[in-house]
Structure 1
Amino acid sequence: MPEIHPFYETHRGAMEAAMRQRLDLAEATLREQAQLSNIDGIKQEVMDEFEIVLIQMPYVGGAASRMSDFFMRLMGFMAIGRVLRRHGVPLPVIGNIERETYKAQLLTVPEAERLASGRQFMSPENQTLLREQAAKSHEEEYPEDFVYDFVEPAPGDNFEFGIDYKACGFCKFAAGHGDKEILPHICGLDFEAYATRGIRLERTQTLAGGASHCNFRFSRLETK
C-alpha cells in the first residue's frame, strides 16, 4: 500500500495543522459562497482527502530543493478543490474560496515577519541561490519537479528579477491525478503569497493556461 514519503512524514504534523487552520478560516466563505451547510462534514472530508494527497505528493529533493516547500504549503488546496468539486461547487467559486482563505491564513502571520520574509526573498543572496537552483533544475533529477530559468532584467524593465517556469510540478501532478480543472486555482494563490510579503508579482501567462512557460516578474511593493 502506498505511503507518504519519509521527508513529508517528518512535516506531516505541521501540514495537517495548517490545513485545519485553513479550514477553520474558510468556514464563513464555505457557507456564503459555496452554499454548503454541513461544514463540519466538509472539513472532515477535506482532511480525509488531504491524507490521499500526502501520499500522492512527489518527492523533489526534500530540504535541498526550494520547490519542496511549495508542495507542502499549497498541495492541500488540491484536496479542498477535489472535495468542493464533488459537492458541485462551481469552479470560479472554488477559486474565490481558496484565494480568500489563503490570504486570511497568510495574514495570521505578523506583518513584520511577513515583510522580513519578503525582503529576504528579494535579497541579492537569495537571488544568487535562485540562479543556482534554476541551473540545477535543468538536470531534471526528479521527473515530477519544476524546471525554470532565472531572468535578469534588461534595460528599461520595471522588475528586479524574474523566473520563467518551463515545467511545473503542480501541472504534472494535476495531469497525473485528474486535477486539471482545479489546477488554475493553485496558480492564483501566488499573487496573495507574494503581496502579503511586500512583493509585487506580475505574470501574464501560465503553463496551466496553455503557455510555453509561466513568466514570474518580481519587484518590491511601495510601503506606506
Structure 2
Amino acid sequence: MADMIHPFYEQHRDAMEAAMRDRLDLAEAMLRERAQLTDIDGIRQEVMDEFDIVLTQTPYVGGAASRMSDFFMRLIGFMAISRALRRHDVPLPVIGEIERETYKAQLLTTPEAERLAAGDQFMSPENQVLLREQAAKSVSASHQAEFPEDFVYDFVEPGPHDSFEFGINYKACGFCKFAARHGDKEILPNICGLDFDAYATRGIHLERTLTLAGGASHCNFRFSRLRLG
C-alpha cells in the first residue's frame, strides 16, 4: 500500500499534473539559461516521474475539510522539481529562484480581479472565523492522533501596537514533516520561499521572520493588505 495515492489526491490528480506541466513550460527558459540544462524533454519526464512518487508520499490531512490539503496540492509538486534538479547538480539557490519565479508567473495567469477577490476573501472576518476554528482543531489531541502529518497552528490576534490584521503561528509544518520523512530537508527552504508571492499576487502582505525550517520554534505569519497603486 506504500505506493498508493490517497483517493483524495487521486481525485485531483489530473488538475495537479496539468499545473505541473504548466510550471515546466514557464520554467523552460530558466532551466536552459540558469540551470544550464539542455535536455529539457528529459527533465520534464524526470520531474513528472518524480511527481508520481511524491503523490504516493503526500499525507492525507482531512481532504476538503482541512484548509491545509490545498497547501499540499498546490505546493508539493515543487518537491518533485527540486529533487529532479538536485540530481543534475543544480545549486539550491538557483532551484529556489527558478521555482519562485515560475510559481509567480503561474499565479499571475489568473486575472487580477479574481486574485484580489481571493485575497479579500482570505482577509475577511468570515475567513478569520474559519481560521480560528481550524487552528483550534489543529492543536487538539484527537486531530493530531488522526492526522499526525498535518500542520499545527495558532491564530494570532494583533495587539494595540501591531500593524498586521491577524497572524498564524505554525508550530508544526506538514512540509517539514514530509521533508524529514523523505530526505528533502535541504530543499525545504525553497518551498518556504513560495509563500510570499502566493500572498502578494492576491494583494496581501506577508511578514515572516521565523521559520521551522530555519530552526525556529514556529513560523510567524503576519498578514496585512498591500497598499496597491
> What TM-score comes out, normalization by structure 1 length?
0.99
The residue number in structure 2 matching 1:114 is: 115
The residue number in structure 2 matching 1:173 is: 178
The residue number in structure 1 matching 2:92 is: 91
Write out the 4+ residue segments of structure 1 that deviate beyond 3 Å after TM superposition: none
- Could you tell me which runs of 5 or more consecutive residues in structure 1 were left unpaired when the two chains were aligned: none
The residue number in structure 2 matching 1:17 is: 18
Question: How many residues are treated as equivalent by the alignment?
Answer: 224
1:54 matched to 2:55:
yes
What does the per-residue CA deviation read over 1:37-58, in whole Å, with 9 as the maximum and x for residues that have no partner? Answer: 0011101100000000000000
CA distance in 1, matches of 2:18, 2:90: 25
- The offset of 1:223, in angstroms, is 1.7
Q: RMSD across aligned C-alpha pairs, in angstroms?
A: 0.6
**Where do 1:147-166 residues align within 5 Å?**
147-166=152-171
- The offset of 1:154, in angstroms, is 0.1
CA distance in 2, matches of 1:196, 1:44: 29
- Secondary structure (helix, strand or coil) at the match of 2:103 reads helix
> What TM-score comes out, normalization by structure 2 length?
0.97
What does the per-residue CA deviation read over 1:105-154, in whole Å, with 9 as the maximum and x for residues that have no partner? Answer: 00010000000000000000000000000000012130000000000000
- Secondary structure (helix, strand or coil) at the match of 1:132 reads helix
Percent identical residues = 83
- The offset of 1:32, in angstroms, is 1.0
- Secondary structure (helix, strand or coil) at the match of 2:154 reads strand
The residue number in structure 2 matching 1:64 is: 65
- The offset of 1:96, in angstroms, is 0.4
The residue number in structure 2 matching 1:219 is: 224
